[in-house]
Each structure stands twice: as C-alpha cells, then as structure tokens.
Amino acid sequence: MAEIEVYKRTPAEQALLKKRAKQSMKGQIMMFSLMIFLTLISFSMVVAFESGVAGFSKYFIVPMLMLFAAVQVGLQLFYFMHMSEKGHGIPQMFMFTGVMLGFLIPLTFVTIVWW
C-alpha cells in the first residue's frame, strides 16, 4: 500500500493560496461578464438587422458575429479551460496545431479546386 503524506501549510502559504484563488475567481467573473456582454451585442445586431435599422446589413453583421464568436472561443479556452495556468504548454501546442491544420487543409483544397 502507498503511504499517505500529510503536508500542513503555513499561514503565509494559506494566505497566498487564498489571495490567488480570489484573483482567479475575479478574473473568471470578469470574463463571464464580458462574454455575456458580447452575446447581448450579437443578439442586438441581429435584431437591428431584422428590424431594418439603417447601417446593419448582412455584410456587416456576419463578419462581426464571426469575430465575436472567435473572441469568445479564445476567451473560453484561455480562462474557462484553464489554459492560462502553468503547465498547459503541450495541450496548447496540440490545440493550436489542430486549429491551424483545420484552417489550412480546407483552404488548400478550396484553392486547388478553384484554381
């Protein structure tokens, strides 16, 4: 059987861990609020387009929605999937490589077919 080792933290370590947890939670709440704000803006733009408000054409709405979606995906990966913490370099490398390949391979095939 494996032995269990109990480590007692000093008050300074406990205070530091509590401070870091508080900062982390503050960042999570701020990012959640930002994502809710971006979602509300997205819905507002679509409603404005459907209502016929001047200046909201589909050529403006679609790229803006895609931009907001890309920003939200990046923030969710970085904050809610804990990619901002230390020790996540290898998973980040594989995720970014997958995103790059997922973009470049269809672009390559579209380029080959169209030209």
Confidence bin at 47 (pLDDT 50/70/90): very high
In contact, 31 and 80? CB cutoff 8 Å:
yes
- pLDDT value for 1: 64
- In the three-class reduction of DSSP (H, G, I as helix; E, B as strand; rest coil), residue 7 is classed as coil
Sequential DSSP letters for 46-99: HHHHHHT-TT--HHHHHHHHHHHHHHHHHHIIIIIT-TTSTT-HHHHHHHHHHH
- pLDDT value for 105: 95
In contact, 48 and 56? CB cutoff 8 Å:
yes
pTM assigned to the model: 0.70
pLDDT at 48 over 80: yes
The domain limits of the chain are 9-84, 85-115
pLDDT at 54 over 70: yes
Confidence bin at 51 (pLDDT 50/70/90): very high
pLDDT tens string 6-40: 888 899 999 999 999 999 889 889 999 999 999 99
Distance (Å) of CA 68 to CA 35, 40, 65, 101, 109: 9, 11, 5, 22, 27
